[in-house]
Structure 1
């Protein structure tokens, strides 16, 4: 009888212990918040973005430190930083398009087709359009063109190219055919962008008979942008 009583007491104690463990486990689980895979991905993206920003800031700091050293060196050697500032201004002019430049590259001449219309074609199919010029410009940019011009007009990010009747307008100046595109970059790569079997320019010639002439040169000259650039909407971000 005593043995049965002891077994009952031990069983009861184990039940109490098990119940206590379950309650404690539930309390511990409630203290944790589960994180979804999307949240983890978003956090990882935010961390990578911050790391990239830190890297950019470090690069900017290093650049400014080098510029400060250059100023100090100029002051010690010449007593003035005028030449250094002049070089910086010329660099900005070069980048922004306000300087005449030259270098190796390619010259392309586009003009309307001279053949007869095929059945089903329209007269517009045999004419050079603004879309044709823009596509070729983009192909050249993809091929590494550093500077571009159309009929002597410097092509910038703010430049417009649009059809106005039989002419094309760029930088508010209108030109008739032929349309001459100049590009500075690696001549062989630029030439391949125009003459490759699947290139847009070659398609204009083979399908519509448009005249596309091109040749590379060791010295392509491109004039500076002759207009003004005025931004109406953009402004520096606050805190930058």
Structure 2
């Protein structure tokens, strides 16, 4: 009799367990939306590459739209419009919105190849890396030296372009770069080189070139073509949240 009673209880329990399992399975499927609840982890390299690809696609779209605008502008026969267009073109060249060709001064900064164990007393590993202030110092010196156009790595930059570094990587207009970092400025080579020689920030960097072997190379090149600037124009700045101390 006891064995029969036990079997009877199991005969009720098995269907109940099956129903509960079905409910849990349905909830899991609804939660995941048909997707894997354990997505495969993407590496940092994949994330960076994906971001670079998106930026490149957007830049191609901008270039295509600009070409269409230029084609429409060229169809006008009005002398008044042609005069206005000439003024726009001149301003566009000054602002970096058209391609330019000329003589340039190229500056390349690179991390030191010195082993950390060979650092002088009191130094640390940060001394071996090119930092944001080093890149910004060269950029500022070249603008002060009369640069009429500039590129950082493979991108055209303007005076408001932001230089940002995280560790030893450079973030520029949505793309990520590793050293060596090359800054190329168009203008009078003698004036640009003099500006580099006389700039305090660049002089400070050159001290570490001699001390621990940071890379610093300056070259003059002729007939170099810069593309038009393809970055954004909106300036972004921090705002004090409403209700915070000091907010009005």
The TM-score with structure 1 as length reference comes to: 0.58
Contact 1:152 1:223 in 2 (8 A): no
1:223 counterpart = 2:227: yes
| 1:173 and 2:172 aligned | no
1:211 equivalenced with 2:210 (yes/no): no
Q: Equivalent residues in 2 for 1:38-57 (5 A)?
A: none
Q: CA RMSD in A?
A: 2.4
SS in structure 1 opposite 2:106? strand
Distance in 2, Cα, partners of 1:139 & 1:212: 15
Q: Which residue of 1 aligns with 2:114?
A: 115
Paired residues for 1:6-155 under 5 Å: 80-116=79-115, 117-155=119-157
Contact 2:94 2:148 in 1 (8 A): no
TM superposition shift of 1:126: 0.9
Give the secondary structure class of the aligned counterpart of 1:132: helix
Contact (CA 8 Å) 1:104, 1:218: kept in 2 or not? yes
Contact between 2:111 and 2:128, CA under 8 Å: does it hold in 1? yes
The structure-2 alpha-carbon separation of the partners of 1:232 and 1:206, relative to structure 1 and needing over 3 Å to count, comes to closer
Give, in whole Å, the separation in 2 of the partners of 1:79 and 1:223. 29
Query: Which is higher, the Rg of structure 1 or of structure 2?
Result: 1
Note closer, same or farther for the CA distance 1:189–1:232 as it changes in structure 2 (3 Å cut). closer
What is the alpha-carbon distance in structure 2 between the residues aligned to residue 172 and residue 190 of structure 1? 28
Q: Supply the distance in 1 between the matched residues of 2:209 and 2:78 (Cα, whole angstroms).
A: 61
Change (3 A) 1:201 1:118: closer
After superposition, what is the alpha-carbon deviation per residue over 1:85-116, rounded to whole angstroms, capped at 9, x for unaligned? 22122112112211111222201111101123
